[in-house]
Amino acid sequence: RDFVLGAVIMNGHGQVLHFGGQVVKNVAGYDVSRLMAGSLGTLGLILELSVKVLPSPKSETTLKFDMNGTDAVRKLNEWGGRPLPITASAWRHGTLAVRLAGAEAAVKSARSSLGGEVVDAVEAERFWAGLREQTDPFFAGIGPRTALWRLALPSITEPLQLPGAQLMEWGGGQRWWITDTDAQTVRISAKQAGGHATMFRTGAGYDRSAGVFTPLPAPLMKIHRGLKAAFDPARIFNRGRLYPDF
């Protein structure tokens, strides 16, 4: 979302609307272009999109460390407060992986400071691609009566003591959880930890009646409904994709 500069969309009236700009200095007006990034197609059709891109890093290295989840969370938060070129992190099955990317000197210095074991470049690329595309073996653990949940939590939250497999990303702020636990229990657990939970993918036998997303408080839902009414009053686009009555 933060890299979206502008968008051209078609709304529910069939009108073509322009928002934002094509370069950073020309971005202006109501930030609908970023709003589109999280709307899942419920507000309009994206016809054109302008995004900010960055050059590929000069150097990249992945390190891995053997440690439990609690130590991984603490280390990630400690490293997050230092000027280290960390661009990705993930913990699963007792191993923490950290990707360093940037100027060659910065990567070399960070690698020396952090220690750990250097991962082969081909293996590292396969690992990070597997997380991005969800082809990593972790995601193959979804059974017919289980669900893959995505929990957004404060990065300092220690691993939740809950049944099922867990994987941590984004400095500890994003947690993947495969479980047969019911949706209400999952969402209560996430809320108690200061976050929220999204039902990302399920097996055929898992109860999906609770909805994909955590229900919004009434004031926020009022804003969402107002946006929907403004852009798509006839509710043509992706009806029910975000919320059952949206």
Split into its structural domains, the chain has a count of: 3
Return the pLDDT at 162.
82
Residue 208 falls within a domain, yes or no? no
What's the N-to-C CA distance of the chain in angstroms? 22
149 and 128, same structural domain? no
197 and 152, same structural domain? yes
Cα 152 from chain centroid (whole Å): 8
Using CA atoms, how far apart are residues 151 and 29, in angstroms rounded to an integer? Answer: 32
- The per-residue pLDDT string of the chain (246 residues; one tens digit each, 9 = 90 and over) reads 889 988 999 999 999 998 887 766 665 556 788 888 889 999 999 999 999 998 999 999 999 999 999 999 999 999 999 999 999 999 999 999 999 999 999 999 999 999 999 999 999 999 999 999 999 999 998 999 999 999 999 999 988 888 889 999 999 999 999 999 999 999 999 999 999 999 999 999 999 888 899 988 999 999 999 999 999 999 999 988 888 777
**34: helix, strand or coil:** helix
104 and 164, same structural domain? no
* Neighbouring C-alpha atoms within 13 Å toward the C-beta of 225: 11
pTM: 0.86
Return the pLDDT at 1.
86
114 and 83, same structural domain? yes
Q: Which of 108, 133, 158 is the last residue of a domain?
A: 133
Q: Which of 133, 157, 190 is the last residue of a domain?
A: 133
Residue 207 falls within a domain, yes or no? no
Contact between 234 and 241 under an 8 Å Cβ cutoff? The reply is: no
Return the pLDDT at 99.
98
Residue 246 falls within a domain, yes or no? no
- What's the CATH number where 74 sits? 3.30.70
Return the pLDDT at 30.
64
109 and 72, same structural domain? yes
Residue 157 falls within a domain, yes or no? yes
Per the structure, the complete domain to which residue 29 belongs is given by 4-54+216-231
Residue 240 falls within a domain, yes or no? no
Q: Which of 113, 133, 153 is the last residue of a domain?
A: 133
50 and 87, same structural domain? no
Residue 173 falls within a domain, yes or no? yes
Residue 211 falls within a domain, yes or no? no
Question: Would you tell me how many other CB atoms lie within 10 Å of the CB of residue 134?
Answer: 14
Nearest to 84 by CA among 117, 114, 63, 58: 114
Using CA atoms, how far apart are residues 84 and 106, in angstroms rounded to an integer? Answer: 8
Return the pLDDT at 240.
84
88 and 29, same structural domain? no
